[in-house]
Structure 1
Amino acid sequence: MGSTRLQLAVYCVWASITAVAGEAPSSVPGVNATHAAVDAMMALYNETTGIWDNDPWWESGVALRAVADYMLKTGSDEYLPVAYNTFNIQRAPLEWWPEGGGDFRADSTDDTGWWALALTTLYELTRDVEFLDVAKEDEAYMFQYWNKTTCGGGLIWNIPNGTYHNAISNELYLELTATLHNLIPGEEYYLNKSLLGWEWFKASGMINSENLVNDGLTDNTACVNNNATTWTYNQGVLIAGLTQLYKATSNTSLLETAQQIADATVYSAILSPGGILTEPCGTAPDCDPNTTAFKGAFMRGLAQLDAVIEEHPYKSYIQNNALAAYTNARNGSDFYGLRWQGPFDNASIGRQESAVNLLLAAL
């Protein structure tokens, strides 16, 4: 009887783990499914404006990077005209930014960061130095808003008001600087910037006791974790940044931290109920257009981490999410809804680029 109880207990532990991390599904959406999702995303593209849909501007930067990632992974050049069209149109000064901007310099540091990272991927794809030059210009612009008076450093988010040390701006800066270092042979400037950014972030308190990243710091002299929502993209972009910095330094402590954050997300009852990544806002209309794009950023970062770990501990989790979305959240036109558990609810660029990033992660 004791042996039976022990066997049952072991089985229950095993079952609870595989329910979340999952075994690799028997049929994972492949290149054809991913191509169909990218094509559906292109139905939301406006050749005249060079952006996708009418959702937040930064999401078109994410879509551009997803298109570039697709071409990198598959060896295709199908969407290069789209990439160049978007780059040439959207680098112009912005009507809605009083100081003009231009070259993707916006009134918030995170918006600039998303576009700059898209340009690094386009440079990796094409080796067109113009993409790299603008990404470097964007890094310099972001670093102008490194705070020298409050919170011991860190980028502020709201440029006109000079306020809010948020997680995403600093995570994007970490990933951008580490990526620039990894793309430019023999360089040290961006590596030092990336190390500076990580040392500040690590000491900031934004990573909470559960190894999840909250949204930012209190907007006062205390500069402590504001305990705001643990959005999925804040976990994923930090994971991506730490992975890029690990590639630059071979410092395994960076991977250990990235895995702690990944595990906290993958095994979270809130962020991964039933093993399927879910935004804390739940369902539309509680999830605004910004939040619809967050899950894809997490999956992109998780896939980068998984690729550098020999055991590939997150592969089955990624594949199970891809299969769930493909089976339950896709309509007849290959658009994907907000919740990958299903059912399909609506088409938007945020929803679609998240799905494309998920399917790319599973390839």
Structure 2
Amino acid sequence: MVSRRPLLRLWLTLSAILLALSSSGTATGISFDLDSVDSIKSAASTVAYDLVSFYTGNNTGDVPGNLPSPYYWWEAGAFFGALVNYWAYTGDTTYNKITREAMVHQAGTKSDFMPLNQTYTEGNDDQCLWAISAMMAAERNFTNPSSSQPGWLAMVQAVFNEQAHRWDTSTCAGGLRWQIYTWNSGYTYKNSIANGCFFNIASRLARYTGNDSYAQWATKAWNWTETMGLLGSNYEVFDGSSDTENCSSLDRTRWSYNAGVYLHGASVMYNYTSSSSNSTSSTWKSRLDRLISASSHFFSSNSSGENVMYEPACETKGDCNTDQLSFKAYLSRWMADATQFAPYTYDTIMPKLRTTAQAAVSQCQGGTTGTYCGFRWSSGTYDGTTGVGQQMGVLEALQSLLAADSNGPLTSSTGGTSKGNSAAGTSPDETSNAIRAPITAGDRARAAIVTAVVVGLMLSAVYVMIS
């Protein structure tokens, strides 16, 4: 007769282990089916929940729309764009209230995404990335601001008008500077992300409104980028160039979000010119195809030999900074959008996004919930990191799989309801921040005198208080 005592002891041991695991509150990651819309939405819900846990702007005493340190203001704009996308793809309205509140608040008193708490430190790319999220809100018919406030479309038009006024022909035959004001580091740098974002919103405004003036600006920005060599012969997108050398030499670093913002804008221009029977549609198709081909630079192979998105400039060395940890989110987002603006690209783009999403979600094994996501998707193992960039990247990669099952971006003639104002951002006080003269020795001397006076007054005040 077989004794049941060893079996009983084994059963009790296994039960104790299972109970300990279940009571620890730690999950074992996220499982999902690549071919099930409901499964993808469920996984996206988990990733979005963990993403929003980083947000503190709805806490008492905090500022709506701000992310805590170490995240800069521009990434907060991209953060809420990811939540607009999440709602558009899944239909889940859980985060709509905080998203709408944040975007309206950070649009500022002039609704141009130059709020007083950021104005003197933000760059053209910072302002424009918030505008890109507002453009998504217009295109997706996200909940509009109140009737007494400018609409999402008007906010983007304000940013466009201000940035068009900043187009600077004093050096490099044109282009936007990275920074708006002379006192910010990077003012002498003309880069792909600032000009690419401007190109992107110009193309989308052309498509949404049907106003060809925006398309002409998009073409102008594209031509300048290509002439300066920021677009390489194989449509590599390089980072930027200093205007102190009249843009004669390039920083050839290639970042995924630079490639993505041009790829997306080109897909919009293809869509716009095709729908209007414009003879340039074949030109934009060729440009889009070449950008898609060049984007292969950002897809590595994981242990199974499948293409997975990565950030080659920093990821393999393990030195990506806080900003760079978020770049893959935007390439995922914009490649998925491109399949909607140019459906013929679906069979080329989507296989890469599928393998990327599968690998990215397998990284979601960290944090207190056991579902926070890491960054090195192509490594095959969880890298142990968590953060806004990592979380947003996985969310965008995952919800990109839903692009084919959602309605494409709207226009004002296909159901878009956002209020516009083509004159927004054109009043004198709004355009006065356009182009500043380079800093001179006299400027520096005057700044030193002002600083000395201010310090003296502060010391005097302290002395009086102590006395």
Q: What TM-score do you get using the length of structure 1 for normalisation? A: 0.83
1:177 matched residue in structure 2:
202
Do the aligned partners of 2:77 and 2:129 also contact (CA within 8 Å) in 1?
yes
> Which amino acid is the alignment partner of residue 161 of structure 2?
A
How far apart are 1:304 and its partner, in Å?
2.2
How far apart are 1:271 and its partner, in Å?
5.0
2:91 matched residue in structure 1:
75
Separation of aligned partners in 2, 1:225 and 1:236: 23
Q: Does the alignment pair 1:276 with 2:308?
A: yes
> Which amino acid is the alignment partner of residue 394 of structure 2?
A
Do the aligned partners of 2:106 and 2:115 also contact (CA within 8 Å) in 1?
no
Q: Does the alignment pair 1:338 with 2:379?
A: no
Separation of aligned partners in 2, 1:199 and 1:25: 39
Secondary structure (helix, strand or coil) at the match of 1:62 reads helix
Match of 1:357 among 396, 412, 423: 396
2:3 matched residue in structure 1:
none
Separation of aligned partners in 2, 1:117 and 1:52: 18
Separation of aligned partners in 1, 2:295 and 2:265: 16
Do the aligned partners of 1:180 and 1:190 also contact (CA within 8 Å) in 2?
yes
Match of 2:286 among 252, 256, 263: 256
Separation of aligned partners in 1, 2:359 and 2:316: 17
Separation of aligned partners in 2, 1:104 and 1:115: 13
Separation of aligned partners in 2, 1:223 and 1:211: 18
1:291–1:264 CA distance, 2 compared to 1 (3 A):
same
Q: 1:141-179: per-residue Cα shift (whole Å, max 9, x none)?
A: 222321121111111112222421100011111111111
Q: Does the alignment pair 1:66 with 2:82?
A: yes
Correspondences of 1:62-211 after superposition (within 5 Å): 62-92=78-108, 101=116, 107-124=122-139, 125-126=141-142, 128=144, 130-161=151-182, 162-184=187-209, 186-211=210-235
How far apart are 1:104 and its partner, in Å?
7.3
Do the aligned partners of 2:234 and 2:290 also contact (CA within 8 Å) in 1?
no
1:105–1:314 CA distance, 2 compared to 1 (3 A):
farther
1:34–1:25 CA distance, 2 compared to 1 (3 A):
closer
Structure 2 residues not aligned, in runs of 5+: 1-32, 145-149, 275-280, 403-467
Do the aligned partners of 2:84 and 2:142 also contact (CA within 8 Å) in 1?
no
Q: 1:212-248: per-residue Cα shift (whole Å, max 9, x none)?
A: 1110124334423514310111111110111111111
1:21 matched residue in structure 2:
none
Separation of aligned partners in 1, 2:35 and 2:47: 21
1:278–1:190 CA distance, 2 compared to 1 (3 A):
same
2:15 matched residue in structure 1:
none
Do the aligned partners of 1:338 and 1:344 also contact (CA within 8 Å) in 2?
yes
Once the two structures are overlaid, the 10-residue window that deviates more, 128-137 or 35-44, is: 128-137
Secondary structure (helix, strand or coil) at the match of 2:348 reads coil
Q: Does the alignment pair 1:304 with 2:329?
A: no
Q: Does the alignment pair 1:44 with 2:54?
A: yes
Percent identity between the two aligned chains = 23
Separation of aligned partners in 1, 2:249 and 2:207: 31
1:143–1:317 CA distance, 2 compared to 1 (3 A):
same
1:234 matched residue in structure 2:
258
Secondary structure (helix, strand or coil) at the match of 2:320 reads coil
How far apart are 1:360 and its partner, in Å?
1.7
Do the aligned partners of 1:214 and 1:229 also contact (CA within 8 Å) in 2?
yes
Q: Does the alignment pair 1:293 with 2:326?
A: yes
In the TM superposition, structure 1's runs of 4+ consecutive aligned residues that sit over 6 Å from their partners are: 24-29, 102-105
Secondary structure (helix, strand or coil) at the match of 1:38 reads helix
How far apart are 1:323 and its partner, in Å?
0.2
Once the two structures are overlaid, the 10-residue window that deviates more, 202-211 or 169-178, is: 202-211
Do the aligned partners of 1:52 and 1:60 also contact (CA within 8 Å) in 2?
yes
1:330–1:191 CA distance, 2 compared to 1 (3 A):
farther
1:71–1:105 CA distance, 2 compared to 1 (3 A):
farther
Q: 1:185-209: per-residue Cα shift (whole Å, max 9, x none)?
A: x323322221221222222211223
Question: Considering only aligned residues, what root-mean-square deviation do their CA atoms show, in Å?
Answer: 2.7
Do the aligned partners of 1:175 and 1:245 also contact (CA within 8 Å) in 2?
no
1:225–1:239 CA distance, 2 compared to 1 (3 A):
farther
Q: 1:101-123: per-residue Cα shift (whole Å, max 9, x none)?
A: 57978631000010001111122
Q: 1:280-329: per-residue Cα shift (whole Å, max 9, x none)?
A: 20268611101011011111122222332425211111000000111235
Match of 1:244 among 251, 256, 268: 268
Separation of aligned partners in 1, 2:123 and 2:91: 34
Q: What TM-score do you get using the length of structure 2 for normalisation? A: 0.66
> Which amino acid is the alignment partner of residue 43 of structure 1?
S
1:214 matched residue in structure 2:
238
How far apart are 1:127 and its partner, in Å?
6.4
Do the aligned partners of 1:157 and 1:169 also contact (CA within 8 Å) in 2?
yes
Secondary structure (helix, strand or coil) at the match of 1:246 reads helix
Larger Cα-atom Rg: 2
1:106–1:131 CA distance, 2 compared to 1 (3 A):
farther
Once the two structures are overlaid, the 10-residue window that deviates more, 215-224 or 228-237, is: 215-224
1:14 matched residue in structure 2:
none
Separation of aligned partners in 1, 2:125 and 2:286: 26
Structure 1 residues not aligned, in runs of 5+: 1-23
Separation of aligned partners in 1, 2:327 and 2:44: 18
Q: 1:260-295: per-residue Cα shift (whole Å, max 9, x none)?
A: 2222222x3x75244221112026861110101101
